[in-house]
Each structure stands twice: as C-alpha cells, then as structure tokens.
Amino acid sequence: MKIMRPLSAVGIVASAALVLAACGTDPAASNSSGSSSAAAPAATETADVQCGGKSPLSAEGSSAQKNAIDIFTLEYGKKCSGQKVNYNPSGSGAGVKQFNANQIDFGGSDSPIKDADAAAAKARCASDAWNIPLVVGPIAVAYKLSGVDKLVLTPSVTAKIFSGAITKWNDPAIKAVKGNESLNLPDKAIQVVSRADESGTTDNFQKYLGAAAKADWTKGAGKKFNGGVGNGAQGSNGVATAVKASDGGITYVEGAFAKDGLTPALIDSGSGGVELTSANVAKSLDAAKFLKDGSNDLALDLNGIYASNTPGAYPLLLTTYEIVCSKYANPDVAKAVKAFLTVAATAGQEPLSAKGYVPIPQSLQTKVLAAVKAIS
Amino acid sequence: MSESSSTRTPTGDPGGRSSSVTTPPEVPISEQAAPPADKQPPAAEKPKKVRPGDRIFQNLTTGAGIFVVGLIGLIGLFLLIQAIPALQANKANFLTNHGWSTSDPANMSFGILDLLEVTVATSVVALIIAMPVSLGIALFLTQYAPPRLARPFAYVIDLLAAVPSIIFGLWGILVFAPAIEPFAQWVNETFSWFPILAPGNVAPSVRGTIFTAGIVLAVMILPIITSLSREVFERTPTPHIEGALALGATRWEVIRTTVLPFGKAGYVGASMLGLGRALGETIALAVILLIPQGKNFDWSLFDGGATFASKIAANYSEFNNEVSAGAYIAAGLVLFVLTFVVNFAARSIIGDKKGD
C-alpha cells in the first residue's frame, strides 16, 4: 500500500499533463479570433458624454449583440469610470418582455418592436419607446467548393438553392449568373446547411429571400429554417464547421464566420456582384430608409434594403436594436442610458469590426446621436 | 481490501488476549462484565433512552431522503403542469408524429417519435461499445494489472469523467469525426445493403451521424461503468478466488467462475447508470449531430437527428412564449419517464440477481 502512494501521485500528474497537452493543440481554441475585415468607414463623430446616473444599468435581450454590448460596456467604463451595464443575453423575446414589464432599463432585440409590443412598451414608459439601431452585422452566403473562389449569386438563385430547386453546382442557372461564366463548376451535389436552432440569422436570411426573390422563395420567414433541404447544425460555429467538412457545402452565417476555408459569395442584386466588406454594407445602410420617417424611432426598413439594387451595396445584413423609453420616469436612469448609448454610438463602434460586426456609417450615426440626445 | 474482509470474523476480542477467549461474546457481557464496562448495565436497564445526537442524525437522514423523493415528485409535477397547455394546443399526435413545429404558438404540431428513436439509438450504440470495453478494463484493473499500475490507471480512467461534455462534443466533431470519416465511409458503402448501415438521412455527410455520436458517447460513459464495475469486482471474496485457484483453475477460469458471477449484478447496474447518462447527454450531441431537414429518422447508424436533450439545448435560448416552451418541456417529461423506466429496470435486474 505505502509503495503505491507516490506512484499514484505520478499517475495524476502524468494524466494532468496529458490533458493539458491536449488543450494546447485544440483547434477550436484558435477559432474565436475576429476577422479583420476591410477597413471600416470610421464613424468619426464624437459627442459629449454626460457621465453619471444609475449604475449598473440592467439590460436584457438578443444574444446576437452580446459581444457588441460587451465592447460598449468596456468603452463606457473607460469614458465614465465606475459606470456599469449588466446585459443578460436571454434572447430577443425575453428582452422585449422584460422591458415591457419594467424589469430592465433597456432591451435588446433582433427586430424592432411593433404592434402589441410597442403598445405595451408605450404603457411601460408612459411615452413612446424607440428602437435605436446600434449593432449591424452582415450575413454571408458562404460556400466551400474547391477550385471556385469567386462565386456570384443572385437572390433568385440563392432562394432556389436554399429551397432545393437547384441541387447541383453545375446547374445552368448558377452558370448563367453574370461573373460565373468562366467558372469551372463541378457536377457535385449542393449540400445546404442551415441553423438547427432557432435564430435571428435564419429569420433575417429568410426575410431577405422573401423580399429580394419573391417569386422563388415562398417558404416564408421565421426563426426556424423553412427551406426543407439539407441538414441543420447547431449555432454559427456549427454550420461553419459542417460546411468546412464537405466540399460542395453552402450555408448562411454571420460574416465573421465566413473564413478559414469558407468563401462568402458575391451578391448580385441586379447591379453586378458585390463583395461582403464593411464599406459595402455601410453603403446599404446609407441608402436605408426608416419605417417612421422623421421620428426618433429609428427602426430600419430592412425590406427596402433587402430589395434594393444600389450598385456596390451589400444588402444581406441584420441589425439589432436597443429599445429605450423616450422619457424615463427616473432621471437617473435616463442619464445613464443616454451616456451609455452615446458611448456605444461613438467610441464603441470602431472596435466592433474586430468581432465581425460593421460600424454604423456616419449618416446613421448622426441620427442615432440625435435620438439619444432627445431621450429624457 | 483483502485484509479487512478476512479479519472481519474474529473482531470480538479487544486487542491482546486473543488466545484465551473462546466464549460466545453476547452472553457473558451482561453477567460478568461489571469491572471493565461501567456504562453498559444502565443502557441495558433503560433500553428506550435515545440520545439527542441519535435523534438529530436520524431526523436529518430521514429528511434528506424525503427531500429527494419530494424533489423528484415536484420536478415531475412541474414538467406536467408546464407541458399540459402545449399538449392541448398540439395539432399532431404527440407520441407518433415525427415533425416538430412550435414557432407559432397558435399553430403547433409536434411529436416526439423522432426524438425518442434518435435518443434510444445513440444510447444503445454507446452502450454496445462501452459495455464490453468497460468490462475488459475493470477486469484488467482488478485481476491482471500489477497493483502499482492499477491505481494510477484507475485514476486516469476516472479523469475521463471529469472532462466536460462540451469538450467531448467539440473533440467529436472537430477531431474525431474527420479522423474516422474514411472508415465510416467505407463501412457505409460496403455494408449499405444492411438496413442499419444504409446511407443515412444526412448523406453524403458521414460526420454528424449517430455512428460518430454513439462512439463519442461511449467514451463518455466508459468511466462510470468501469469505475463501478471495478469496485464490484474488487469485492469478490478472496476465499472464492483462492478456492478456485486451489482447484487448479487458470486466471480466466477464476474470473469466469468467481469474479463474473459475483459481479454480474453490479456490472449490469453500472451499465444502466451509464445508459442513464447517455440518454440525458445534451450538449455533446447537440454539437455533433447534424439535423436533416424534412427527413425522418430511418433506423440507420448514419442518420442524423436530435435527441430529447439536444433538441431542448439547441432551442432554449429562443423560448419566448410559454406555450412553445411547454412543447419542449413535454419532450423533457418523456425523457424523465424514459430515464425512470431505465433505472427501474436496472434496479429490478440487480434485485433479481442478488437473490442467487
């Protein structure tokens, strides 16, 4: 018995070393580093930040903007030392519900609140509730196909692929898209990969297809993929992994994941293929209209963006909103919310590109700052 | 181990004078033992006296027991209450429908058949692989390995149980699945005439399949089964083993005639506990399994799909109304019942075997 003790200790140490060594070569570990996309159009405007008010602010909602909120919170802490925001990424639905129940100071949502939710929010605030778009992320139609590094897709072809009407890479419809004539497309099955979990990305992608390719996408929108073709995988990383696993795969995924073997397709909305870059996404936002013109409720008309054919603009994107009261009952809360959103719209935007989001262009930033200023 | 069990019988004598005492222990204590034990006679006169320490301890343990039973009951009740509204709103047969559509609370149709089949299939694959391997490891550790190797070896295997399941999942899909892909492909193509090895519903991919998931799951339940079986085999009475050896049995014959019969019930019980873990395994399966769109599970190892737990894990972040969430809770209720049935079966197997 006594002889065994030191040896068993050796065993523990040895096995611990094994585990540690395994960690060192884990390929997943290197996966989280952000892609440094093309230089974003810097949102240059600065604004006075009036620090103070309630701390920590409590907020809840969309998990898609969790990383962005973390950055905003960091910048907010730098500008206003000691001020904090607690954000709980429990999902858009929960964010809206909690905001309307007066449980949190502002909510985060993948889509602007409207109808019954807007009415409830108005009742909660005793004033209008506003949607402030602060986080914009492009969605890539990403594929893996050896020998093809610059594929152009039209909305119609995309819709046909994701609904199972086009099943082979050498389908004449793909070849016929301007820019693909010279491609050597193989006689291979297209493996569509979608999100198995319910997701705002799926919702926006299906809305995009519905708006840009009405005739070819009849499956409707929603957080669940309705295409009825291919396989589902878990989460953004999951779909990226699944496509990387097999030559001939295609998926829709947040821009930041379309790298390391995945190629984002160029999108041709009628004015030629457009690459997924921050500048091209910003161009889309520049041309964006708002659902309520002239108001400080800055809900974007995404269908307008999706269906537009502005040359050089990348239309497939999603925005998340902060939902705020235009008038807070407690001036302390209003002060802190204003300070936080001001920092988020200025200093918070540029670091976003490292996480795969796109900083909002100046035209939108001006409007956001005006709206934030009007909060009281 | 062997020392304690072999010395247990003559513990009646306190230390030194072992040779003189041959009397039966119970009778003389009450009569002759006035000088050595003062406090024994009063205890015998007032036998009903219960000391506060005893009472407190008994109440605590009873309380703990009742607490657990109550907790299980409340969990079942909670699941049931949460599930009922969703089940009432369900437009399909909950038990026999394959599809799962719950995003629109006003128009839900969902059934658990696919989830049940995939859950059972992955767990059975895992069990078929893990059971013989664990048996081998446990026998090696207790019967063959030199003692100074057995300890560290057992530690290493127990360490497997400490690896979080998300790590197993990521390892499974990022490292293991690509590595085993050529083999899986070969099996799939060569034996495709055999129903359970037919091309799956996630074809042409052979990575995110029940085949891959089952093997990863087997690794995950290996430590539980091994650990418990080892404990049982270790307790094989030494006289049995020595008797077998004395009769001229070889190592293998010793194991076959003494260790295995003695440890069978424990081994089956350990396997059932492993099965319980496999049935409830969540995130590793959510990460590994691909989910076919618009196709049902078709009893092939190369099918994909979702299990009860992985389905819930995949969608919990978007539960934004109670009725839709209730559908998932109803699925959880079925898993609860399934696990209960498995455990019940395991207990009764152990109970039966203990008799003989």
pLDDT digits (tens, 9 = 90+) for B240-281: 999 999 999 999 999 999 999 999 888 988 998 899 889 999
Chain A residues touching B178 at Cβ < 8 A: 245
Q: Which residue of A has its CA nearest to B157?
A: A15
Each residue's pLDDT tens digit, A51-95 = 888 889 999 988 888 889 999 999 999 999 889 999 988 778 888
Distances (CA, A) of B122 to B273, B281, B288: 15, 10, 12
Q: With CB atoms and an 8 Å threshold, state whether A12 touches B103.
A: no
Q: What is the pLDDT of residue A46?
A: 62
Q: What is the pLDDT of residue A15?
A: 47
The token duo for A196 is 């198995």
- pLDDT greater than 70 at residue A27: no
Question: Nearest Cα to A43, choosing from A279, A275, A311, A322?
Answer: A279
- pLDDT greater than 90 at residue A10: no
Winning range, highest mean pLDDT, from A44-48, B7-11, B205-209, B226-230: B226-230
| Banded model confidence at residue A12, pLDDT cuts 50, 70, 90 | very low
| Banded model confidence at residue A33, pLDDT cuts 50, 70, 90 | very low
Token pair 């998926």 is found at: A251
Mean pLDDT of all residues in A97-124: 89
A224 and B CB contact within 8 Å: yes
β-bridge partners, B110: B100
β-bridge partners, A193: A231, A251
Q: How many of the other CB atoms lie within 10 Å of CB of A173?
A: 14
Reading phi first (left if > 0) and then psi (alpha if -120 to 50, else beta), residue A242 is in alpha
Each residue's pLDDT tens digit, A336-371 = 999 999 999 999 998 988 888 889 988 899 999 999
- Nearest-neighbour CA in chain A from B264: distance (Å): 28
Q: How many CA atoms lie within 13 A of A85 on its CB side?
A: 33
- pLDDT greater than 60 at residue B234: yes
Chain A residues touching B159 at Cβ < 8 A: 15, 19
pTM: 0.77
What does the CA dihedral A47, A135, A109, A67 come to, rounded to 10 degrees? -110
| Percent of chain A residues topping a pLDDT of 70 | 88
The token duo for B218 is 């087997």
Chain B residues touching A8 at Cβ < 8 A: 151-152, 155
Q: How many of the other CB atoms lie within 10 Å of CB of B3?
A: 9
User: What length is written for chain B?
Assistant: 356
Q: What is the pLDDT of residue B352?
A: 66
- pLDDT greater than 50 at residue A24: no
The token duo for B101 is 């559509």
As a whole number, the mean pLDDT across chain B is 84
Q: What is the pLDDT of residue B100?
A: 86
User: What length is written for chain A?
Assistant: 376
- Nearest-neighbour CA in chain B from A98: distance (Å): 11
- pLDDT greater than 90 at residue B65: yes
Q: How far apart are CA A230 and CA A107, in angstroms?
A: 35
- State the best of A198, A225, A250, A251 to mutate against chain B, taking most chain B CBs within 10 Å: A198
- State the best of B110, B293, B311 to mutate against chain A, taking most chain A CBs within 10 Å: B293
Q: What is the pLDDT of residue A259?
A: 82
Q: With CB atoms and an 8 Å threshold, state whether B204 touches A191.
A: yes
Which one has a higher pLDDT value, B12 or B340? B340
- pLDDT greater than 70 at residue B98: yes
Question: Nearest Cα to B100, choosing from B79, B116, B124?
Answer: B116
Q: Which residue of A has its CA nearest to B155?
A: A12
Q: How far apart are CA B303 and CA B298, in angstroms?
A: 7
Which one has a higher pLDDT value, A97 or A7? A97
- Nearest-neighbour CA in chain B from A94: distance (Å): 6
Mean pLDDT of all residues in B153-160: 89
- pLDDT greater than 70 at residue B356: no
Query: Residue B58: which H helix or E strand, with range?
Result: helix B52-89
CB-based contact B349:B269 (threshold 8 Å): yes
As a whole number, the mean pLDDT across chain A is 84
| Banded model confidence at residue B51, pLDDT cuts 50, 70, 90 | confident
Q: With CB atoms and an 8 Å threshold, state whether A234 touches B304.
A: no
Q: With CB atoms and an 8 Å threshold, state whether A228 touches B294.
A: yes
Q: Which residue of A has its CA nearest to B321?
A: A93
Which 8-state DSSP code applies to residue A274?
E
Q: With CB atoms and an 8 Å threshold, state whether B293 touches A227.
A: yes
B204 and A CB contact within 8 Å: yes
Q: How far apart are CA B110 and CA B90, in angstroms?
A: 7
A13 and B CB contact within 8 Å: no
The token duo for B237 is 């009475």
- Nearest-neighbour CA in chain A from B339: distance (Å): 25
- pLDDT greater than 90 at residue B323: no
Q: Which residue of A has its CA nearest to B294?
A: A228
A12 and B CB contact within 8 Å: yes
* Residue of B101, B155, B159 lying closest to A8 (CB–CB): B155
Q: What is the pLDDT of residue B353?
A: 55
Which 8-state DSSP code applies to residue A280?
H
Q: What is the pLDDT of residue A133?
A: 93
A251 and B CB contact within 8 Å: no
| Banded model confidence at residue A37, pLDDT cuts 50, 70, 90 | very low
B101 and A CB contact within 8 Å: yes
Q: What is the pLDDT of residue A193?
A: 93
